[in-house]
Amino acid sequence: MATDLSGIARRLPSGLTVRVAEDADLERIVEFVNRGATPAQWQAPAAVRAMQQAAPEPLRLALIVEDAARSMAALAVTTDGGLWRAGDGTWRVQLLVSPEHRRRGVGGALLEQVEAHARAHAAPRAVAAVRGTDPEGARFAERHGYRAFHERIDAYIDVPAFDRSAFDDPDESARRVGIRLATWEELLAEHASDSEGFQRALLPILWQLARDVPSPTPMPEEPPPF
């Protein structure tokens, strides 16, 4: 179904245009998002493309705003998550506006459009993430009816400068409690005779672990199809 963007187009400042993102835009989108990402949030374009191919999101809507030179000025995305949809039907919203185009009505126009798309698909609510380093973004979200309800903290270690002398060897610590640490490559090699069977058996275990991690949206009880 075609998305009518005429309302947004009329509200954008002169020189800016909006369109629905296409598959060929993926690398540009990832690069745009990575500009303000922390190390834990940075994504490789190849990894994002692989994930979208493995778990498509047919109801996803992504809008791109470009300037006269076709440089990205803003991005708005909404999705139910596809195979990873929340157990309560919550939709997710992502909105990014480059600093030089903020406070010009771009974000508000885009947000209205993606929220309308989510409502049209019976979304009971929409959630969005705001980084702690972006107080302006938090104020924008609050002005548009969003309220803080979940917090995630990313902690980092400077690996070259880290002094591990105060810690036991990780492999030995694991062995003392009956656990073995292994790489994914090692495990696949050991189960080479039936790698698919191994992965199928592992999926519900990994899903149980994932559901135990605090999340802003509840995960379904059952994992997506293998």
pLDDT tens-place string over residues 57-80: 999 999 999 999 999 999 999 999
pLDDT of amino acid 1: 54
Q: Where in the chain is the domain with CATH 3.40.630.30?
A: 6-143
Beta-carbon contacts of 27 under 8 Å, excluding residues fewer than 6 positions away, are 45, 49
Q: Residues 79, 82, 84, 88: is their CA dihedral positive or negative?
A: positive
pLDDT at 128 over 60: yes
Q: Which fold has domain 6-143?
A: Aminopeptidase (3.40.630)
pLDDT tens-place string over residues 142-175: 999 999 999 988 889 899 999 999 999 999 999 9
